[in-house]
Amino acid sequence: MVVGDVTTGTDVLVVGAGPAGYVAAIRAGQLDLDVTLVEKDAYGGTCLNYGCIPSKALITATDVAHEASHAEEMGIHADPAVDMAGMIGWKDDVVDQLTGGVEKLCKANGVNLLEGTVTFDDENTARISHSGDGQGSETLEFEHAIVATGSRPIEIPNFSYEDEPVLSSKQALDLDSVPESLVVVGAGYIGMELASVFAKLGTDVTVIEMLDSILPGYDDDLKRPVKQRADDLGIEFEFGYTASEWEDTADGIRVVADPAEDIAADGGAEAEPVESESLELDAEKVLVAVGREPVSDTLDLEAAGVETDDRGFIESDSRARTNVDHIFAVGDVAGEPMLAHKGSAEGQVAAEVIAGEPAAIDHQAMPAVVFTDPEIATIGMTEAEAEEAGFETVVGEFPFRASGRALTTGDSEGFVKIVAEKEDGYVLGAGIVGPEASELIGELGLAIELGATLEDVASTVHAHPTLSESVMEAAENALGHAIHTLNR
Ligand SMILES: Cc1cc2nc3c(=O)[nH]c(=O)nc-3n(C[C@H](O)[C@H](O)[C@H](O)COP(=O)(O)OP(=O)(O)OC[C@H]3O[C@@H](n4cnc5c(N)ncnc54)[C@H](O)[C@@H]3O)c2cc1C
């Protein structure tokens, strides 16, 4: 069937059904706006289909296998066999449940759903091109548009994702067998999370990173336990190199890496001195995880008058508005941090602003989590950032090795660190590395959001034995009266 060139209209056009777009659409529906959500691929976007959810499913599954085979200390002797097809099937079921839920929630909130690719004709008109059965196109007139087209993995020269042994994160999350060996290009959070997944499946993993440490942007003390665990898992690192090309060999591929010309100092202590020779690494596959770029070049944004910066991000203000007043940009396409919850928060704000509410985005209490082993979670300001912003600070720390609950989980590496304003004790930020850091950071987000003080956190009774007691003890430590660790 070919859809004719009919013209319809909507109050709010949302382009892209990732966590930024579908949340914006649902919120707009709740606010009784007439909203149309257009998606060209799959409901839930990168996050649900190829990102957050599948990666976390595989992290959990490989953790189960790894922990079971390393539990002799607890008196458990097991040698689990991994059925990769079964593991991927389970991951796909989780994804299907969530993407199906997104579609149902949209419909239940009165969102009109359309499948197709959006381009702009002008600042109030979009063209929706359909493929497959419904091929053809239609024209949609809109009062407001919310652009939520997300991002895609950056390709580096000579490493095309079209070539079979070269994997993007999306392809790496869908392998039907465990590679014997893998080169990972990039030690950012996606590279490090997937390096751990495959190392735990028994793959020989080597990570190439052009900088001199893992996880650029995170404090050294937070990433030290992650690097240590990666070393323990047998992951090899080659810092100060960039992957330049690959070739087929009789047994697989050979990845060539050249010394990085300019190694930006990241304060990392792990860096080996940079050799001047190129490296040659033999492997079965190579995963390229060097970052993501905005999907803004396929929309004909110029026709709508919407401007992007020199990296292609659509610039938007604290109310998610672009330079064109009635067009909004949210999520990865609107800039860093490229995280699902940041996009969802922006999506809600965009819908509320369109409905006339006084909403605005506050990036101050924006958590960031790396689901490595152990996890890292941060929120608010680091000590250095707080001091740079003119605060006199006090810091409290609590090590998980002093937490009864952490010891009973068999995982007591890492610590909770709280940064607060010295005089009144307002919580300014926190960093956690260790078990369930991703869950524990929520309490500190609430503390910052509510303007809580160290005293508030310390005097909140936390259940025993829980990991969350470590948050309370870190606050007590900053106040000089932690019970289960020595105070400064
Ligand atoms: C491996 C991996 C792991 C990740 N893990 C995490 C994590 O643990 N936590 C976290 O917060 N973030 C994580 N992320 C990042 C997260 O996935 C993104 O930040 C998030 O998906 C961004 O949401 P979005 O809605 O802006 O864009 P997307 O999720 O990319 O969605 C955009 C949607 O727009 C559609 N689209 C694009 N152009 C058009 C068009 N012209 N017409 C119609 N539709 C269009 C796309 O098909 C897509 O579905 C991860 C990413 C990856 C790759």
Cα distances from 156 to residues 291, 315, 448, in angstroms, run 10, 25, 39
Closest to 25 (Cα-Cα) out of 95, 98, 105: 105
Burial class (CB in 10 A: 0-12, 13-18, 19+), 468: buried
Task: Give nearest CA residue, ligand 1 atom 7.
Answer: 52
CA of 239 relative to ligand 1 center, distance in Å: 29
* Distance between Cα 346 and ligand 1 center (Å): 14
pLDDT for the residue 264: 45
Rounded distance from Cα 330 to ligand 1 centre (Å): 11
Q: Whose CA is nearest to atom 15 of ligand 1?
A: 339
Look at residue 270 in the predicted model and tell me its pLDDT: 52
- The tokens of 348 are what? 């809600």
Ligand 1 centroid to Cα of residue 87, in Å, is: 23
Burial of residue 389 (number of CB atoms within 10 Å: 0-12, 13-18, 19+): exposed
Burial category of 366 from C-beta neighbours within 10 Å (exposed 0-12, middle 13-18, buried 19 and up): middle
> According to the model, what pLDDT value does residue 3 have?
52
Site to substitute for ligand 1 among 46, 189, 290, 370, most atoms within 8 A of C-beta: 46
pTM: 0.95
DSSP label at 460? Answer: S
- What tens-digit pLDDT sequence spans the chain (488 residues)? 445 567 899 999 999 999 999 999 999 999 999 999 999 999 999 999 999 999 999 999 999 999 999 999 999 999 999 999 999 999 999 999 999 999 999 999 999 999 999 999 999 999 999 987 667 999 999 999 999 999 999 999 999 999 999 999 999 999 999 999 999 999 999 999 999 999 999 999 999 999 999 999 999 999 999 999 999 999 999 999 999 999 999 999 999 999 997 544 444 445 554 556 899 999 999 999 999 999 999 999 999 999 999 999 999 999 999 999 999 999 999 999 999 999 999 999 999 999 999 999 988 899 999 999 999 999 999 999 999 999 999 999 999 999 999 999 999 999 999 999 999 999 999 999 999 999 999 999 999 999 999 999 999 999 999 999 999 999 999 999 999 999 97
Burial class (CB in 10 A: 0-12, 13-18, 19+), 461: exposed
CA separation for the pair 25, 351 (Å, rounded): 7
Ligand 1 close to Cβ of residue 151 (< 6 A): yes
Distance (Å, rounded) from C-alpha 374 to C-alpha 228? 10
Domains defined for the chain, CATH in brackets? 6-153+293-354 (3.50.50.60), 166-290 (3.50.50.60), 374-479 (3.30.390.30)
Contact of 258 with 208, CB cutoff 8 Å = no
CA distance 225 to 229: 6
Q: Which two tokens stand for residue 296?
A: 């803004």
Residues sharing a CB contact under 8 Å with residue 323, sequence separation 6 or more, in sequence order: 305, 306, 307, 315
The distance of Cα 127 from the centroid of its chain, to the nearest Å, equals 31
Place of tokens 């190579």: 286
Counting atoms of ligand 1 from 1, which one is nearest the CA of 169?
1
Whether 59 is in the pocket of ligand 1, judged by its Cβ within 6 Å, is no
Ligand 1 touching residue 29 (CB < 6 A)? no
Rounded to the nearest angstrom, the distance between the alpha carbon of 47 and the centre of ligand 1 is 5
Cβ of 152 closer than 6 Å to ligand 1, yes or no, is no
- Rounded to whole angstroms, the maximal C-alpha distance in the chain is 74
Q: Is the CB of 331 under 6 A from ligand 1?
A: yes
Ligand 1 touching residue 128 (CB < 6 A):
no
